């Protein structure tokens, strides 16, 4: 009986040590440098931006707290609503294109090909290329006077005259979307390829013995096997695409007119007019969307 009570006291003392016991304090001390970096490079800027969005901050004036006035102005601004609509179109088509092209290339590179290692390296070239270089190259390709695209179309007789891909409202958004897909699909392809290689070959062999064709093997083995990777890649890439700036700015700068203005470009243009508070609010309007997408996909991962 005495021994039992003693053990209970020991357990009680461990519980009372709680989060701030000697062992835990040492752990906190060890992660303090990393947490400090995270604070100064993430938490502090985010907190400052949230505060700025609630003020009338402008160049040359003392910022005053205005509450949610900046957000109310944004949702009553037709230009902001156009940017939000363009963002939905841009992100939706870019993500769909990356997924289809990335999965298709991954399946192709998973097969037995001649010089398969070489082709796997070639696929990475668009993603390895600096974004500035990649989108400036596409701007040159789309050039109506000397661009390779127009030279090909006119020489082959597909079109009678050059097309201003980036200067025409009909073509501008589609042209930027295509360039963005080309730049980003290798990340999807390599991640999907790595996931496909982790699927046990025995499952394919057993399915083939049972008479399953290629489509059935893909639908019932490959797709479920790489589903967690699909969700993770979709989440990371969607958040990155929502915040995309260089693709639009380097090719069209949001033009012609407002045909390709998306939320990051809209927020940046607000800064050029020194409407700092409103620009901060515009930038933060993308955060709830990213959070909802992340929570939804993480919950899907937990169910797996």
- What does 249-290 look like in DSSP terms, one character per residue? HHHTTT-STTTT--HHHHHHHHHHTT-HHHHHHHHHTTHHHH
Is residue 123 within 8 A of residue 303, CB to CB? The reply is no
Domain of 115, CATH number, reads: 1.10.3720.10
Residue 49 placed within a domain: no
Residue pLDDT, tens place only, 83-116: 999 999 999 999 999 999 999 999 999 988 888 8
Query: Which is more confidently placed, 152 or 13?
Result: 152
Q: At what angle do helices 148-155 and 131-141 cross, to 10 degrees?
A: 30
Residue 134 within a domain: yes
Over the stretch 106-151, which tens digit does the pLDDT of each residue have?
999 998 888 888 998 999 999 999 999 999 999 999 999 899 999 9
Number of domains in the chain: 1
Q: Give residue 246's domain range.
A: 69-303
3 lies in some domain: no
Confidence band, pLDDT 50/70/90 cuts, at residue 31? confident
Residue 209 lies in a domain: yes
Per residue in 205-237, pLDDT (tens digit) is 898 888 888 899 899 999 999 999 999 999 999
In a domain, 52, yes or no: no
Q: What is the dihedral of CA 29, 30, 33, 39, to 10 degrees?
A: -70
Query: Among 232, 97, 107, 119, which Cα is nearest to 175's?
Result: 97
For residue 102, tell me if it sits in a domain: yes
Q: Does residue 287 lie in a domain region?
A: yes
Percent of the residues in the chain that have a pLDDT greater than 70, as a whole number: 92
Does any domain span residue 264? yes
């Amino acid at each position: 009986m005495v021994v039992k009570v003693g053990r209970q006291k020991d357990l009680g003392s461990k519980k009372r040590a709680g989060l701030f016991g000697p062992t835990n304090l040492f752990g906190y001390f060890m992660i303090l440098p990393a947490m400090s970096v995270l604070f100064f490079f993430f938490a502090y800027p985010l907190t400052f931006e949230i505060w700025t969005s609630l003020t009338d901050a402008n160049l040359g004036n003392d910022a005053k707290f205005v509450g949610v006035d900046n957000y109310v102005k944004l949702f009553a601004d037709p230009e902001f609503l156009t940017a939000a609509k363009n963002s939905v179109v841009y992100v939706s088509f870019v993500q769909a294109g990356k997924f289809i092209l990335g999965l298709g290339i991954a399946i192709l590179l998973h097969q037995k090909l001649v010089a398969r290692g070489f082709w796997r390296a070639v696929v990475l070239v668009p993603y390895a290329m600096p974004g500035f270089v990649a989108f400036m190259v596409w701007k040159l390709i789309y050039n109506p006077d000397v661009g390779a695209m127009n030279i090909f179309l006119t020489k082959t007789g597909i079109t009678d005259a050059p097309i201003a891909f980036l200067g025409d409202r009909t073509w501008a958004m589609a042209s930027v979307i295509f360039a963005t897909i080309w730049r980003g699909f290798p990340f999807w392809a390599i991640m999907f390829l790595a996931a496909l290689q982790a699927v046990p070959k025995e499952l394919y062999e057993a399915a083939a013995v049972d008479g399953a064709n290629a489509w059935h093997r893909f639908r019932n083995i490959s797709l479920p096997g790489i589903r967690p990777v699909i969700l993770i890649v979709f989440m990371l890439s969607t958040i990155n695409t929502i915040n995309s700036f260089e693709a639009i700015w380097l090719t069209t700068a949001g033009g012609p007119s407002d045909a390709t203005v998306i939320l990051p470009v809209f927020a940046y243009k607000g800064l050029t007019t020194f409407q700092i508070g409103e620009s901060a609010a515009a930038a933060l309007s993308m955060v709830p969307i990213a959070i909802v997408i992340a929570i939804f996909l993480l919950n899907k991962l937990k169910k797996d």
